[in-house]
Amino acid sequence: MIRYTMFLKRKSILHSIDPRSKIILSLFLFVVCIFFNNPFFVGTLFFSLIIFLKIFGKVEIRKTLSFLKPMLPFVIMIMLLWILLGSEKGNVIYQIWKLKIKDVNIAMAFAMGFRVLAMILSTFLLLMTTEQRDLVLALVKMKLPYDYGLTIAIALRYVPTLASLAVSITDAQKARGLELEKGNILEKIRKYVPILVPLIVKSIQLAQELAIAIETRAFGKPNRTFYRDLKFKFKDLVFLFAAVIFFVICLYLRIKDYGTLDI
Amino acid sequence: MIRFKDVSFRYSKDQNYVLQDISFNVKKGEFLGMSGPSGSGKSTLCLMMNGIIPKTIQGDFSGDVYIDGENIAEKEIYEISEKLGLILQNPESQLFSMTVEEELAFGPENLGIKREEIEDRISWALRLVSMERFREAFPHQLSGGEKQKIAIASLLTMKPEILVLDEPTSNLDPKSRIEIFKIVQKLNRKGMTVVVVEHETNFISTADNILILNEGRIVRYGTPKKIFREADFLKKIGVRVPEIVEFSHCLLKDGYTDDIFLSVTEALEGLNVKSRRSLL
Amino acid sequence: MLKVEDLCYEYESGFQLKNINLEVKGGESIGIIGENGSGKTTLVKNLIGLLRLNSGRILLDGKDTSTMSVAEIARSIGFVFQNPDNQIFASSVKEEVSFGPQNLKIDNIEEKVTNVLKTTDLFKYKDSHPFNLSGGEKQRLALASILVMNPKILILDEPTSGLDLKNARKLIEIVKKLQKEGRTLIVISHDMELISDLCDRVVLMKSGEIIADGAIKKIFDDHDLLEKTRLDLPEIAKLSKILGFGVVFSPEELYRKWRASHD
């Protein structure tokens, strides 16, 4: 089974909060991650987010980690780059040939690693606790034109369709002797042509039919109504208020130069 | 309800006309079946009924199409869609929402219907296609037959008076096919005007009238009995004939009957096998 | 030729094939029937190596296929997928058909492609763009692109679905010619008339198991079996059953029987 959404069905406070408040929290968290570069600060932020998700979103820590796992190679690469190509300052603690490994750069590598993880998690937090349709609806309510909202929703909707189409096409070509694993990099890339061409042709066909289907459902008539609605309740306001306070505190700390390393 | 008058059409990129001199009428509450070999212009004809051709897909168009007495040339597609719903062959492209419920809400939302009314219409439409359990389901995870039922329901919530189905079951298994056609028949009995395009003529043998297209022209039009009487002609141009009809042609040829049968029941009556009818 | 012993296979989603035993002899024509989701396609995907069984084994000419790659199996078992649009990618019909033999590094490709295009009545289109072919021609192209690898066993998945009378007849004619040449045939279809026309033996599947295997008439005369599988008989078969002639799938055959009993 191909997973088509990150949404996890739970009965939690975080799930019940209006997506608009959550979008703003998510944005704040994302920006706050950039504020600090002290590895202990950013690390604390990252672990707090995991615990926050556990307590308020009822998302098991194991589940959160399993979502983050595919991102690890990317994070490790960033960390290695910092260790090897970081600042000229600091004390050399280890040297192999010409590569000097410095204490400052190790600290920065951890800070950057945690920063990327925390940034990813602040987005995931939104996606794990909000249904896609509510997310799109929230964006439309936040004055995104409906056409754009519909486009985003449709794009998300057809991810699994195209994924299973890609599997069927690959199967069909394998049955004609296509071996994707064999050959050097150039040959491997060329081997994807027989998969990509039918996939693109069928996607275009799907898009054309889709356009007709949308038109037959009276799309474009003025004065559209919305069946689903979002009601901004008192608790959503409280949540939003808390997010703003959190952001302001972080901003204050940043201005006072807490949580940063001088390099 | 539907009236075509001397309609001809040629796609911009093509040299030949896909349809030529098409004129026919569909009365209110009628069930019209349409068939013809591949490439005879069936799908093009369907797209003309709500104005997609020539409004969205352009080309050389002449003639007039009237829906409910009004020439659709002067109307927007969304205005026509209120009266006429069109179902296409591939259900995957007709279900573009995250959940079944939203799919069914999309049409009435565009029409500006109030929330409570949409709510009622969704429940009503799901009941009509017996899909109540799937209200919260994700369309991608439904089977082909279920998807097509939801596609039909998503038009029903717009309360159209006419439903046009372009080969709605050609990629489905026999069971789902029968289910879809039972739904279509039910809607027709409730007074809806229905046009069904099918190359599997089994499913249109209960229609009031059948129209046969070949090479862009109407070559036959009439009641199923009249149309299927000319089985040899149909087969010659590449249109399937129901097996029961073929069987009755065998009987007809040797003089065992003077009428053709369209269903098992009719065949049993015709052959005077009354005692065995209970077996059905 | 092909022997399946105690094959078991389980999807992540839980659907499984249970203890499949099947022997296919050279030159035989077998129809696989059953409701949607009964496991027909899963079984065939196991046969051609796209899915790998959990237990049991598949013997191809006495050789266990578990060590063979999909491409190696494709030399002996050809699977024509249902939807030709899922595999067409080349810019000419000739090139499209050459794809399989090129992958398998077969000799005399040119000559083989020419022969196969003649067999499938596509030779006149050899330089045309495959996307410009009609639905029926595309279906024959898919057949040609498998046939060109000269597999001893040919598997067809719903070969006539969506085709009009002329194209369906043409395809059946070609398949019958292949049968005469001694090729082993496996057909998956809902179309009982097609199955009864092409196959002498039928394998009936339900919920991942083979519940019957034998002569087509024997299986369709078995009331309990049909009840169990909830398979719908075509109208003509229903009529012939009521008339007391057992199951018959062609109108002409029913008429012969009716006349014989009538006179």
From CA A187, how far away is CA A180, in angstroms rounded?
Answer: 9
From CA A8, how far away is CA C76, in angstroms rounded?
Answer: 46
What's the confidence (pLDDT) of residue C248? Answer: 87
Residue A137 has pLDDT above 50, yes or no: yes
User: Do A37 and A89 meet the contact criterion of CB atoms below 8 Å apart?
Assistant: no
Q: What angle do CA A226, A227, A228 make, to 5 degrees?
A: 95
What's the confidence (pLDDT) of residue A92? Answer: 79
Over residues A179-195, the mean pLDDT reads 88
C-chain CB neighbours of B214 within 8 Å are none
User: What is the sign of the dihedral through the CA atoms of C106, C108, C109 and C112?
Assistant: negative
C-chain CB neighbours of A174 within 8 Å are 50, 70-71, 74
Q: What integer best gives the mean pLDDT of chain C? A: 92
From CA B81, how far away is CA B155, in angstroms rounded?
Answer: 9
Which chains are adjacent to chain C, needing at least 3 Cβ pairs under 8 Å?
Answer: A, B
Q: What is the pLDDT of residues C55-71, one digit of tens each?
A: 999 999 999 999 999 99
What's the confidence (pLDDT) of residue B278? Answer: 45
From CA A161, how far away is CA C21, in angstroms rounded?
Answer: 34
Nearest CA-CA partner of B229 in B259, B263, B196, B197: B259
Over residues A14-26, the mean pLDDT reads 94
In what helix (H) or strand (E) does residue C160 lie, and over which residues does it extend? none
Q: What is the pLDDT of residues C91-138, one digit of tens each?
A: 999 999 999 999 999 999 999 999 999 999 999 999 999 999 999 999
Q: What is the ipTM of this complex?
A: 0.92
User: Do B137 and B100 meet the contact criterion of CB atoms below 8 Å apart?
Assistant: yes
What's the confidence (pLDDT) of residue C225? Answer: 82
* Residue that the structure tokens 């019209």 belong to: B32
* Residue that the structure tokens 């649009």 belong to: C85
Residue type, C43: L
Chain B residue with the nearest C-alpha to that of C137 = B38
Q: How far is CA B82 from the centre of its chain?
A: 17
User: Do B136 and B150 meet the contact criterion of CB atoms below 8 Å apart?
Assistant: no
User: What is the sign of the dihedral through the CA atoms of A158, A162, A164 and A168?
Assistant: positive
Of residues A111 and C15, more confidence is placed in A111
Contact of B142 with chain C, judged by CB distance below 8 Å, is answered with no
What's the confidence (pLDDT) of residue A229? Answer: 84
User: Do A35 and A254 meet the contact criterion of CB atoms below 8 Å apart?
Assistant: yes
What's the confidence (pLDDT) of residue B272? Answer: 75
Contact of C88 with chain A, judged by CB distance below 8 Å, is answered with yes
The Cβ of residue B222 has, within 10 Å, a number of other Cβ atoms equal to: 14
Residue type, B124: W
A-chain CB neighbours of B86 within 8 Å are 212, 216
Question: Which residues sit opposite C203 in a β-bridge?
Answer: C32, C213
DSSP 8-state symbol, C8: E
Contact C50 A176 (CB under 8 A): no
Give the gap in angstroms from C-alpha A160 to the nearest C-alpha of chain C.
16
- CATH 3.40.50.300: which residues of chain C? 2-232
What's the confidence (pLDDT) of residue C188? Answer: 96
Residue of B178, B202, B244 with shortest CB distance to C239: B244
Contact A215 B158 (CB under 8 A): no
Over residues A123-145, the mean pLDDT reads 89
Over residues C209-224, the mean pLDDT reads 86
Contact of A209 with chain B, judged by CB distance below 8 Å, is answered with yes
Q: What HEC string does chain A produce? A: CCCCCCCCCCCCHHHHCCHHHHHHHHHHHHHHHHHCCCHHHHHHHHHHHHHHHHHHHCCCHHHHHHHHHHHHHHHHHHHHHHHHHCCCCCCEEEEECCEEEEHHHHHHHHHHHHHHHHHHHHHHHHHHHCCHHHHHHHHHHCCCCHHHHHHHHHHHHCHHHHHHHHHHHHHHHHCCCCCCCCCCHHHHHHHCHHHHHHHHHHHHHHHHHHHHHHHHCCCCCCCCCCCCCCCCCHHHHHHHHHHHHHHHHHHHHHHCCCCCCCC
What's the confidence (pLDDT) of residue B280? Answer: 47
State how far the alpha carbon of B136 is from the alpha carbons of A75, A150, A231, B74, B100, in Å.
Answer: 37, 19, 20, 39, 6
Residue of C13, C69, C99 with shortest CB distance to A176: C99
Helix axis angle, B115-128 to B174-189, nearest 10°: 120
Cis peptide before B54 (omega within 30 of 0): yes
C-chain CB neighbours of B263 within 8 Å are 235
DSSP 8-state symbol, C232: P
* Residue that the structure tokens 């009538």 belong to: C262
Q: What is the pLDDT of residues A208-256, one digit of tens each?
A: 999 999 999 999 999 899 998 888 999 999 999 999 999 999 999 999 8
Considering the entire predicted model, what is its pTM?
A: 0.88
What's the confidence (pLDDT) of residue B275? Answer: 46
What are the mean pLDDT values of chain B's consecutive 10-residue runs (280 residues total)? 96 91 97 94 95 92 95 94 95 93 95 96 97 92 94 97 94 89 96 94 93 96 96 94 93 88 89 55
User: Do C63 and C152 meet the contact criterion of CB atoms below 8 Å apart?
Assistant: no
From CA B37, how far away is CA A205, in angstroms rounded?
Answer: 22
Helices (H), chain B: 42-49, 52-55, 77-81, 100-110, 115-128, 144-156, 174-189, 224-229, 231-237, 243-253, 264-270
Q: What is the pLDDT of residues A50-105, one digit of tens each?
A: 999 999 999 999 999 999 998 999 999 999 988 888 777 777 777 777 777 888 88
Over residues C15-22, the mean pLDDT reads 92
Residue A114 has pLDDT above 70, yes or no: yes
* Residue that the structure tokens 């196959």 belong to: C199
The Cβ of residue A166 has, within 10 Å, a number of other Cβ atoms equal to: 17
Instruction: Name the pLDDT band for A4 (thresholds 50, 70, 90).
Output: low
CATH class of C2-232: alpha beta
Comparing B243-252, C38-47, C254-263, the range with the smallest average pLDDT is: C254-263
3-state secondary structure of C194: helix
Give the gap in angstroms from C-alpha B171 to the nearest C-alpha of chain C.
7
Residue A1 has pLDDT above 50, yes or no: no
Scan residues 150-179 of C and list those with Cβ closer than 8 Å to B. 161-167
User: Do C229 and C34 meet the contact criterion of CB atoms below 8 Å apart?
Assistant: yes
User: Do A157 and A115 meet the contact criterion of CB atoms below 8 Å apart?
Assistant: no
Give the gap in angstroms from C-alpha C96 to the nearest C-alpha of chain B.
23
DSSP 8-state symbol, C245: S
The Cβ of residue A37 has, within 10 Å, a number of other Cβ atoms equal to: 20
The Cβ of residue B98 has, within 10 Å, a number of other Cβ atoms equal to: 24
* Residue that the structure tokens 């003639």 belong to: B63
